[in-house]
Amino acid sequence: MSPVKIRNRIVHKAIAWSAVLLLRTLFLTVRTDIRVAQKGAMTDAPPAGTMRYCFCLWHDIILAALFCHKAHSLSTLISRHEDGTYLSDLIEILGIRPIRGSASRGGAQATKQLLEMPDQHICITPDGPRGPRHKMKDGITYISARTGRPIVAVTVKATRCWKIPGRWSDIMIPKPFSKIVAITSVPIVVRSDLSREQITDMTAHVQDEMDRLDALSDRLVRGDESVADLVVSQRQCVEKKAA
């Protein structure tokens, strides 16, 4: 490895450590309200059983989601772009395992790694690494079907925040002394025998659930508790009763 590359890695690590220290300090001032639709379908405690999940969240809220609580047994799919290198270094400091790859670069290898880690939850941003913003791709549905991990939709909103501009999506960072509301869905089970068309249909269902939780979190972060019972959707209630 050339000296230039070594210096670049040192710079990457230094930037990552600085970012972690700043964000940890910031989040000490942020009030966090986490609404979990199903007990256990979360990473805030060590897993009690064998079930693991695919957590689905938009690219722009990934920092808020990662810093609002300590994650346990979590791996995150990170793109191989240069921006992904900084994020990979950052999440390693947080005790989260990065897996480098995306639908366009290294996807097959990343999926193979996920299959070899049955003890890990997975975090995926399905609108990354190039967008379009808040638009699902089939990758997470395919990974869920292959690994047997149900999909849990996640959304995070803040009363006040900065938005750091990116090439195709901003990154949301809550301002000091703001409040964030995080919502998780009831796990969405994806069968392993789905056809390509059925995977696309399931992806559309996850998109609908992400959009629904986004709308709910917008209202909850404004203090509208009238929608609190809607965190679990009517369709999901029916599915739970039938199980």
Percent of the chain with pLDDT over 90: 56
Percent of the chain with pLDDT over 70: 87
pLDDT class of 115 with cuts at 50, 70, 90 = confident
H or E stretch covering 183: strand 179-184
Which pLDDT score is estimated for 101?
A: 67
Amino acid at 219: R
pLDDT, mean over the chain: 85
Q: Is 98 helix (H, G, I), strand (E, B) or coil?
A: strand
Which pLDDT score is estimated for 94?
A: 93
* Cβ atoms of 45 and 66 closer than 8 Å: no
Which pLDDT score is estimated for 152?
A: 97
DSSP conformation letters of 106-166: SHHHHHHHHHT-TT-EEEE-TTTTT--TT---THHHHHHHHHTPPEEEEEEEESSEEEE--
pLDDT exceeds 90 at position 206? yes
Q: Is 132 exposed, middle or buried (0-12, 13-18, 19+ CB in 10 A)?
A: exposed
Joined tokens for residue 120: 């890990």
pLDDT class of 29 with cuts at 50, 70, 90 = very high
Which pLDDT score is estimated for 1?
A: 43
Q: What is the pLDDT of residues 35-86, one digit of tens each?
A: 999 988 889 888 888 899 999 999 999 999 999 988 999 998 887 665 667 7
Which pLDDT score is estimated for 81?
A: 64
CA–CA dist 234, 243 (Å, integer): 14
* Cβ atoms of 238 and 230 closer than 8 Å: no
pLDDT class of 112 with cuts at 50, 70, 90 = confident
Q: What is the pLDDT of residues 163-197, one digit of tens each?
A: 988 777 789 999 999 999 999 999 999 999 999 99
pLDDT exceeds 60 at position 235? no
* CA separation, residue 34 to residues 78, 121, 189 (Å): 24, 18, 22
Joined tokens for residue 219: 């209202």
